[in-house]
Amino acid sequence: MSFRNEYLKILVEFGYNLLDKTLYGFEFNFNNYYVVVKGFMPLDTAIEMNKSEFNRRNIRVAGYAGGVDDPTVWANWYNKSGKILMASDEKAGMEELAEKFNFGKIENYRYVEDPSKVGFGYITEYHINSAAGLVTFCKVLEILNSQHRTIKILLPHMEY
């Protein structure tokens, strides 16, 4: 049985069906030996999840293999209209990168002194290493959904 099929079977046993690769607005992609999850995890929840050693090893913030002590480092910040917030001192560098690599229109960004003071923080990607980690992540999403806290912001230049 393939890695993907094994994980899908285990998830069904816990009541989760990921055949369409989505759950509560999060997208799940099965790679060779881990699952890449994209979506908008509220930063407060990400920080709480990251307190567990098991979660740091099996549910990796931004795919960072070393385990992240503070998920805030990897947070993406957004304003109420879904625009990405960046620190003002990063504007020149971002404009240069946007032009060089054509990765997004600069009008999708807003520059502020400190994004963490005016925006909403999210972790937008996880790499999950184990079936137990995947079940744990799905349970967290289920709890967030029951609290009406799952958020899906559609931005034209992102693939979520």
Find the helix or strand (DSSP H, E) in which 87 lies.
Answer: strand 84-87
Predicted pLDDT at 149: 67
Residue 16 falls inside a structural domain = yes
Among 73, 41, 158, which Cα is nearest to 108's? 158
Residue 149 token pair = 């806290």
Distances (CA, A) of 38 to 91, 107, 147: 25, 23, 20
- Split into its structural domains, the chain has a count of 1
In angstroms, rounded to a whole number, what is the distance separating the alpha carbons of residues 51 and 1?
33
The sign of the CA dihedral 82, 78, 61, 149 is negative
State the pTM of this model: 0.81
Residue 37 falls inside a structural domain = yes
Q: How confident is the model at residue 10 (pLDDT cuts 50, 70, 90)?
A: confident
Residue 119 falls inside a structural domain = yes
Number of residues in the chain: 160
Count CA atoms within 13 Å of residue 108 on its CB side.
13
Find the helix or strand (DSSP H, E) in which 131 lies.
Answer: helix 131-146
In angstroms, rounded to a whole number, what is the distance separating the alpha carbons of residues 57 and 69?
11
Residue 152 falls inside a structural domain = no
In angstroms, rounded to a whole number, what is the distance separating the alpha carbons of residues 103 and 101?
5
Predicted pLDDT at 136: 93
Q: Poorest-confidence range of 8-22, 80-94, 97-111, 128-142? A: 97-111
Residue 101 falls inside a structural domain = yes
Look at residue 155 and tell me whether its pLDDT is greater than 90.
Answer: no
Q: Which of the two residues, 114 and 148, has the higher pLDDT score?
A: 114
Residue 103 Rama label (left phi>0; alpha psi -120 to 50; beta): alpha
* Average pLDDT of every residue of the chain: 83
CB 116 within 8 A of CB 75: yes
**How do beta strands 109-112 and 84-87 pair?**
parallel
Look at residue 36 and tell me whether its pLDDT is greater than 90.
Answer: yes
* Residue ranges making up the domain that contains 83: 3-146
Residue 159 falls inside a structural domain = no
Residue 86 falls inside a structural domain = yes
Residue 134 falls inside a structural domain = yes
